Structure 1
Amino acid sequence: MGFQYKTVLMVGATSGIGAAMADRLVHEGAKVIAVGRRQDRLDAFIQKHGSEKASSKKFDVTDQDGMDGFVTDVTTTHPDIDCLFLNSGLSIPIDLSRPSKTDMSSFHKQITTNFTALADLSVKFLPFLMARKSETSIIFLSGYSASKAALNSFVMCLRDELKESSVKIIEIWPPVVQTELHDYAGEKGRSMGMPVDEFTDKAFKGMISGVDQVTIGAVGPQEAFTELVQKRQTAFENLSTIMRAHPLI
């Protein structure tokens, strides 16, 4: 089975997992519209793959005021988008054991980039995706920090709300991956974790398998971590069943 979506809007495509996954999706036959803040890297992506397979749009996901215009522009220019891949994220170490030295601006920057902006984008793209006659999807990269854990809770809610719609919600849980996300750790940063090509290969195989939650790698033993993720999802589904029996709105 191949990747079923033909035109992917990859948000956070100029580095790390997003850049590697954008390359892989083009290789597998999809057209990819790369989104990111760095124009030189967007231009390099198009030069690498050619304008028939690759396109780009410069946008910073933290630009709340410009988000509606971005969504309108990109869906008008590319009305064939059938997959929204929300990958953007950052990692800034915060030591909560020393509250007097805690930089809460960095904390909120991560929450905005890794959670709030992605939740906003998914909701703003939904009318467009739901209007498509064929199945569409939103793919989230989550799981590697507190802000991404918040995203995971949002994803489970969104999936539950949309289970009768034509929009499939897919979530990828990555391990630590060797990318520039960890440059804060100095020279050793990019040697931490799973090689990005190995991760991309496993993620792609998971996406084409048809599951809606792809867990790759682990924090601790793989089996125990996978069991924890599955139990969390089951607990949410049980809670959702109870809440649907007693609707508040």
Structure 2
Amino acid sequence: MPFPYKKVVVTGATSGIGEALARKLVDDGSVVIAVGRRKENLDKLVQEYGHDKVQGIQFDITQLKSIPHFATNIINTHPDLDCIILNAGIQRRSDFSDPDTVDIDVLELEFRTNYLSQLALTKAFLPHFQKKDGQSALIYVTSGLALVPIVRCPNYCAAKAGLHQFILCLREQLKGSRTKVVELFPPAVQTELHDGKHQPDIKNGRAIGMPLDEFTNQAYAGLASGSEQVPVGTAKQAFDAFEVKRQEIFAQMVQAMRGM
């Protein structure tokens, strides 16, 4: 089944899951606006596929005050934009049993990248989607750690869990609209997220998790199917074990509070 959206912004498209999804989209016929901080990687994508299929924009999503201008420029240039994949993220270790090692500035950047920037991007792009006649989508890449945390990176887990809760509420707020709210839950995947340059305490980090190609194929199949929630690998095990029931309780809460 082909991906239903034809012009897609992908954040964090210079490596890992973002780059892999961008490539998959182009191969399937979508036009991609690839966003990331590393211009050389964006240029490589554009050169490989051509400017008619991929356009690169160098931008740092942690610059929250610049996001409205960033979004307006894209929307004005691409009025047919019908999807954004919010993928960019970072992961850092923090151990509060040794408080002197905890750097609040690092935690703030991690939280701003993984949570606040996603809200700012949602606010900036949503009015455009709400005005469109056809279908559109906000696709969020969260994590299996939004469901089951690990001890070594509590701030990352908290940010992803917070984003997951936001997505549940946003989907309910946009219910009945033409904008679909989709969440992709990756397990650990073999990307540079775990590289020593980012997390020096991890040895051979690139070998951790599901192979990127295997993950991308499963994730893309789920996204193309039209599913609103796409858990993959070990994230699906957690999702099936308890998240389905938890969301049933959430639906009951929504119904009970309707009209309040």
- Per the alignment, residue 148 of structure 2 pairs with none
Of residues 188, 213, 222, the one that matches 1:206 is 222
Deviation for aligned residue 1:209: 1.6
- TM-score, reference length from structure 1: 0.94
- Per the alignment, residue 83 of structure 1 pairs with 83
One-letter amino acid of the counterpart of residue 40, structure 1: E
Contact 2:94/2:101, CA 8 A, preserved across alignment: no
* Residue 153 (str. 1) matches residue 169 (str. 2): no
Deviation for aligned residue 1:41: 0.8
- Return 5+ residue gaps in structure 2 as ranges: 146-156
Q: Per-residue displacement from partner, 1:83-129 (whole Å, max 9, x unpaired)?
A: 01000000011112222322121111111000010011112111101
Quick one: distance in 1 between partners of 2:231 and 2:240?
Answer: 7
How many residue pairs get matched? 244
Local SS of the residue matching 1:66: helix
Of residues 167, 187, 190, the one that matches 1:178 is 190
Local SS of the residue matching 1:115: helix
Deviation for aligned residue 1:187: 4.8
Contact 1:12/1:88, CA 8 A, preserved across alignment: yes
Contact 1:57/1:74, CA 8 A, preserved across alignment: no
Deviation for aligned residue 1:154: 0.5
Q: Per-residue displacement from partner, 1:139-191 (whole Å, max 9, x unpaired)?
A: 00002322111100010010000011110000001100000000125551000
- Return 5+ residue gaps in structure 1 as ranges: none
* Residue 217 (str. 1) matches residue 233 (str. 2): yes
Contact 1:218/1:226, CA 8 A, preserved across alignment: no
- Per the alignment, residue 109 of structure 1 pairs with 109
- Per the alignment, residue 255 of structure 2 pairs with 241
Q: 1:142 to 1:224 in 2, by over 3 A?
A: closer
Of residues 226, 229, 233, the one that matches 2:240 is 226
Quick one: distance in 1 between partners of 2:88 and 2:46?
Answer: 19
Quick one: distance in 1 between partners of 2:62 and 2:71?
Answer: 14
Quick one: distance in 1 between partners of 2:101 and 2:24?
Answer: 41
- TM-score, reference length from structure 2: 0.90
Of residues 147, 151, 168, the one that matches 2:180 is 168
One-letter amino acid of the counterpart of residue 209, structure 1: S
One-letter amino acid of the counterpart of residue 155, structure 1: I
Q: Per-residue displacement from partner, 1:41-87 (whole Å, max 9, x unpaired)?
A: 11111011111111111111111221111011011111111001000
One-letter amino acid of the counterpart of residue 129, structure 1: F
One-letter amino acid of the counterpart of residue 117, structure 1: S
* Residue 8 (str. 1) matches residue 8 (str. 2): yes
One-letter amino acid of the counterpart of residue 102, structure 2: T
